Structure 1
């Protein structure tokens, strides 16, 4: 088995940062009434700026595939070009199309001269880690000498006010406030666009630092817990999911079937507990102690969860001081599957790492409660 190293990391964040007061200028106002949830959500999540692949006129500036392509191009140079890529593994929650796959669309935009092996990982936040693991296992097994792995999201177009206008009359009929239900509205103030990419190789950089991937682990609790975050369907009273293809085309708009939704109660009851349970399992499996973590990179959707996660870790004997936690949520927002890539990219390229540093990546996914972990060493 080969050693696997992240030798380069890059990002692409579209347009200019959007601050909290500008958000509805880009996403629009539903039913001509400013959101009552926006300030509450923003106060809790701690996000100050984010990026949208939109302009203020609501015109799209980049597709998801274009965001990803640009991140990959920022990764490469004359020493390693698109023609040298052997595996292209792309993860996203928000592909441009149902099919062809996201990776195929990205490959088409790269316009390189060679065929490559493709992998598209779907899901929610873990789709980026799953894409990374595919590339990691390909290089580790000797199947390939390199892999380009990406995480990307373009969710802003899903959150535009026009996507919810057809639901307004439904809500009035139910004697609700003439805004979309909170489980949909709060996500409009949480999510951002962007992409990031890693180059994985079977040998480290000769003249600069690399990140050796020591191991990766993944866990799912779908056998225990019902769906929490979803799109392209709706949740029935009994907890079962009804897919978009079982609705009439008229219902797609009336019920905003394709909007992104989250069951907040299930999220709050389970996301931290299962996260700590899976983290403990991964650390026990690899006989890893808390003092062997110099940087903890947790993907948290909101700063609201940080203290709770720290407290739950402590209850399980995982003692990683908050000063060892590295996050950039406040600057780039929650970019879903790209968030962990963006954290690693910033940490890797800011110049503060030194040989021997040990980094733990933690990514939860509330879709049906999945978790991914990776342990890296700086070499």
Structure 2
């Protein structure tokens, strides 16, 4: 088995930072009316700026694949060129198209040479799943290097025009023409961007992060879907897929909109997160004092105090100076968030040899959690 190191990290955040007051300029007004939920949601998540791969007219400036490619090319230099790449592993929850795979579309933009591809689909954990594929490939000796990415392009999914037909239909039914909270909620939570890691079987001359272990957990066997798109939830908790709706329903019921069941999110995301993180640390005999930097991907600051309390009750007391977060400034970029946070920490000048870093990524899709433990070299 071979050691695996993150030898370089890069990020790509499109265009200019978008403030809270500018969000509806980019995403548009549903039914020409400002969202009543927006200010409440932003007050809870505490995000002050984020990035969109669209302009103020709602026109795309980048595809998801282009965002990933723009992060990846920053990893190439005279010591590691695009011709040296062996494995490309890409994660996303918002691919540009259903098929071909996201990694194939990114590879098509790189135009370098034949490589092994892996596409990880899901929500936030898809970025960690992409990382684990590269990690295991190198660890097993299948390859000497890999580039792993997380990227999201959700702004066009969240644009007002995607909901207009539903509003028209609601008006025709003489109902209150307001989009359900489960759909409006995520319009003020998610944003665009990409992050990329270069993994190699030897450390770089500069700073490197050795991946000691990675763990992942799913609670889908006991919990129903919480965050979903391309279908709608039935009363029994099952998801009716888009292919079983008529094309008219796709528009009239915003079937492809990203939705969040806030009730079960609040009930399960923290307890299952604490449970899985405790299990991962116990499996590898890691205690709080063995962590110098804790990088949790959280969708909202609303969950931070609850997570701290839950971990404290498990005896995992991670003091405030160990927490490293950039949610306020870059927003919730889904699968890319953990890459962007690691890139910032890696290039911050704060790290010293021997420091230990714990990554924590929850996914509310059907409650999955992923962890990685890194050593600074």
Into which bin does the TM-score normalised by the smaller protein fall?
over 0.9
Q: CA deviation at 1:179?
A: 2.3
Matched, 1:324 2:327: no
Does the residue aligned with 1:373 lie in a helix, a strand or coil? strand
Match for residue 296 of structure 2?
Answer: 298
Aligned equivalent of 2:57:
57
> Residues of 2 paired with 1:259 and 1:303: CA distance?
24
Pairing partner for 2:224 from 223, 226, 243:
226
Deviation track 1:256-291 (CA, whole Å, cap 9, x = no partner) reads 110000100000000000000000000010011110
Provide the residue aligned with 1:186 in structure 2.
185
Compared CA separation, residues 18 and 312, structure 1 to 2 (3 A) = same
Structure 1 equivalent of residue 367 of structure 2 = 369
Q: Secondary structure at the match of 1:272?
A: helix
Q: Report the secondary structure of 1:124's partner residue.
A: coil
Which range is displaced more, 72-81 or 286-295?
Answer: 72-81
Unmatched 5+ stretches in structure 2: none
3-state SS, counterpart of residue 197 of structure 1:
strand
Q: TM (normalized to structure 2)? A: 0.99
User: Is there any run of 5+ residues in structure 1 with no aligned partner, and where?
Assistant: none
Output one character per residue of 1:153-198: Cα deviation in whole Å (capped at 9) or x when no partner.
0000000000001111444467764221111101101101000100
1:111 pairs with 2:107: no
**Residue 132 of structure 2 aligns with which residue?**
133
Deviation string for 1:130-167 (max 9, x for gaps)? Answer: 00000000000000000000000000000000000111
Aligned counterparts of 1:5 and 1:360: Cα–Cα separation in 2 = 15
For residues 41-76 of structure 1, what are the alpha-carbon distances to aligned partners after superposition, in whole Å with 9 as ceiling and x for unaligned?
111101010000000011100000000000001121
Q: Deviations over 1:77-114 (max 9, x none)?
A: 122111111000000000001000000000000010x2
Counterpart Cα distance in 1 of 2:195 and 2:175: 40
Q: Is the 8 A contact 1:2 1:142 kept in 2?
A: yes
Partner of 1:93: 93
Corresponding residue SS for 1:192: coil
Distance in 2, Cα, partners of 1:78 & 1:249: 51
Task: Name the residue aligned to 2:350.
Answer: 352
Distance across 2 between alignment mates of 1:163 and 1:304? 28
Superimposed CA distance per residue, residues 205-255 of structure 1 (whole angstroms, 9 cap, x where no aligned partner): 12x110000000000000110000000111011111111111111111011
Aligned to 2:287: 289
| SS in structure 2 of the partner of residue 6 of structure 1 | strand
- Partner of 2:83, secondary structure, is helix
Task: Give distance in 2, aligned partners of 1:333 and 1:176.
Answer: 34
8 Å contact kept, 1:54–1:62: yes
- The alpha-carbon distance between structure 1 residues 273 and 173, as it changes in their structure 2 partners (threshold 3 A), is farther
Q: TM-score under structure 1 normalisation?
A: 0.98
Mapped pair 1:278 → 2:276:
yes
Take 2:168 and 2:248, find their aligned partners in 1: how far apart are those partners?
14
User: 1:307 maps to what in 2?
Assistant: 305
1:167 aligns with: 166
Contact 1:35 1:179 in 2 (8 A): no
Separation of aligned partners in 2, 1:294 and 1:176: 54
Whole-Å separation in 2 of the counterparts to 1:314 and 1:106: 41
- The 3-state SS of whatever aligns with 2:16 is coil
**4+ runs of 1 displaced by more than 3 Å?**
169-177
Provide the residue aligned with 2:120 in structure 1. Answer: 121
3-state SS of 1:31 partner: coil
**Can you list the C-alpha shifts for 1:287-319, whole angstroms capped at 9, x where unaligned?**
111100000000000000000000000111111
8 Å CA contact retained: 1:12, 1:74:
no
In 1, distance between residues paired with 2:18 and 2:82?
32
Cα 1:172/1:269, change in 2 over 3 Å: farther
**CA distance 1:352–1:176, shift in 2 (3 Å):** farther
User: Number of residues paired by the alignment?
Assistant: 377
